[in-house]
Amino acid sequence: MDSDSDRKVRESLQSDRSIFRGPFRALRHRFFRWFWFGQCISLTGSWMQVVAQRWLVYELTGSEALLGIVNSLNTLPVALLAPFSGAVADRFEKRRILMGAQITAASIATLLWLLTSTKLISVWHIMLLALGLGVVRAFDVPTRQSFWVELVGREDLMSAITLNSAVVNLSRILGPSIAGIVIAKVGTATCFLINAVSFLPPFFVLLLMPPTLVSSRQSEPLLASLREGASYLLTNKVVLKLLLLIGAWSLFGGQFDVLLPVFADKVFGVREKGYGFLVASIGLGAVLGAIAAASLEVKRKRGLQVMLGSAIAVSGLVATSLVKSFPLALISLALVGFGMVMQNATTNTLVQILSPDELRGRVMGVYSFVLVGIAPLGSLFYGFLGQHLGAPNALVLGAVCFAVAASILLLPDKAIRQLK
């Protein structure tokens, strides 16, 4: 339960409640609103870096397998550190953890800019810096995920999560689209510089936030804290199955976009600009999926939303593997984005609502592990299959594997289907 002091802090940060309603009601919380707008800028820069980094690797090596390896290095530290970083998020001031993450990520982007602009860059530099950024993400993701409820409370949590998904995926539209043009006109280095500067707005918003918005520190030993979180998950089968579903998506579905440079080059022949639009179409679908999830949330049928989102994402993956037309691929990838966010945002909300306040950081650490930490295996999965079977066949196999896993986890469990 929220303490009286926490509730008073949030109430003092709310502006005119009549302005923000329905799916947008979390924006009535002033610091959430400021941070949300700051993220619009920062995440656009981050997606520019993702596109530029993947294109640079493909340009330097021409290897589908190395695309998968570099992408996996960007997420491997999350797999190794997520349980520990979740406990850290429960024990220390989340605002300061996030500020440190912004500064470190900006420094890595600056190094990429310097190495690329001076033409000293090699694939080994990219791999090392991708690993470093992965360490940053290991602490950033669980802290950020468990931060929302402290800014907006349980009542507006679904709105905050879907708005966050919307801005993540709005940036997925803007960032790749801008990056494709920038790469074609002036090269990849400029994308890294823009990303470095983009971290400043959210950093200054965090700097202005009062420390009273963060959770209190825990005094128990770290290992005992980790054991408590593990014990909770082992005894709560619904939360455990939801986390396993996210893990299955991360392994078999979520990393399909590592092969989009191959689709852009070999399947559709649209090169850099077309690649940016392929990524952007996923973002457009995801923004629509976030709005749909927030709108349907009032009907309180979240378990069914998870199933619906999973089915739409699988359909989009299969369609993408079959189409030969670039415009049709944009539509099918938008379907993937729509279903992916409907599933992920709803699952995220359910996991947070079902988790006790004092354990939320640790639970979201596990959530980060299954969402991001398993992604290296997913990247290797798609990179290997793309190299040996071709990119379209890799998407079909991934979609089938996820569909089987989701059916096993969701269909027999009445408790999940009835979640509200």
The three-state DSSP-derived secondary structure of the chain is CCCHHHHHHHHHHECCCCCCCHHHHHHHEHHHHHHHHHHHHHHHHHHHHHHHHHHHHHHHHCCHHHHHHHHHHCCHHHHHHHHHHHHHHHHCCHHHHHHHHHHHHHHHHHHHHHHHHCCCCCHHHHHHHHHHHHHHHHHHHHHHHHHHHHHHCCCCHHHHHHHHHHHHHHHHHHHHHHHHHHHHHHCCHHHHHHHHHHCHHHHHHHHHCCHHHCCCCCCCCHHHHHHHHHHHHHHCHHHHHHHHHHHHHHHHCCCHHHHHHHHHHHHCCCHHHHHHHHHHHHHHHHHHHHHHHHHHHHHCCHHHHHHHHHHHHHHHHHHHHHCCCHHHHHHHHHHHHHHHHHHHHHHHHHHHHHCCHHHHHHHHHHHHHHHHHCHHHHHHHHHHHHHHHCHHHHHHHHHHHHHHHHHHHHCCCHHHHCCC
Tens of pLDDT, residue by residue over 338-359, are 999 888 888 888 887 777 766 7
Q: Range with the lowest mean pLDDT among 80-84, 124-128, 377-381?
A: 80-84
Tell me which of 204 and 11 has the higher pLDDT. Answer: 204
How many other C-beta atoms are found inside a 10 Å radius of the C-beta of residue 165?
Answer: 24
Q: How far apart (Å, rounded) are the C-alpha atoms in residues 386 and 171?
A: 27
Between 188 and 143, where is the model more confident? Answer: 188
221: in domain? yes
Which range (64-68, 251-255, 256-260) has the least confidence?
A: 64-68
Residue 330 lies in a domain: yes
Q: Is the pLDDT of residue 4 over 60?
A: no
Query: Considering the domain boundaries, does residue 363 fall inside one?
Result: yes
pLDDT average, residue stretch 200-229:
68
pLDDT band at 61 (very low <50, low <70, confident <90, very high): confident
Q: Is the pLDDT of residue 150 over 50?
A: yes
Supply the CATH number for residue 321's domain. 1.20.1250.20
Phi, psi angles (nearest 5°) of residue 332: -65, -35
Interval 87-107 mean pLDDT: 85
The pLDDT tens digits for 271-284 are 767 887 887 788 88
Q: What is the pLDDT of residue 336?
A: 92
Report the C-alpha gap between 405 and 23 in whole angstroms: 30
Residue 11, domain member (yes or no)? no
State the Cα–Cα distance between residues 346 and 193, nearest whole angstrom.
34
Q: Which of 116-120, 210-214, 269-273 has the lowest mean pLDDT?
A: 210-214
Judge whether 6 lies within some domain: no
Q: Given a cut of 90, is residue 220 above it in pLDDT?
A: no
Residue 222, pLDDT score: 57
Distance separating alpha carbons of residues 108 and 103, to the nearest angstrom: 9
pLDDT of residue 217: 47
Of 391, 168, 119, 139, whose CA–CA distance to 263 is shortest? 391
Do the domain assignments include residue 291? yes
**Range(s) of the domain holding residue 154:** 20-417
- Better-predicted residue by pLDDT, 124 or 62: 124
Closest CA to 418 of 299, 300, 303: 303
Q: How far apart are CA 305 and CA 107, in angstroms?
A: 39
Distance CA 322, CA 410 (A): 27
Residue with tokens 């190395």: 66
pTM to 2 decimal places:
0.69
| Any domain includes 3 | no
Number of domains in the chain: 1
- Position 59 in a domain: yes
Find tokens 């996030």 and name the residue: 98
What is the rounded (10 degree) CA torsion for 60, 65, 71, 75? -140
Q: What is the pLDDT of residues 356-413, one digit of tens each?
A: 766 776 777 777 777 776 777 887 888 888 888 888 898 989 999 999 988 887 776 6
Ramachandran bin of 247, using left for φ above 0, alpha for ψ from -120 to 50, beta for the remaining angles: alpha
Six token digits for residue 342: 């409907």
288 has pLDDT over 90: no
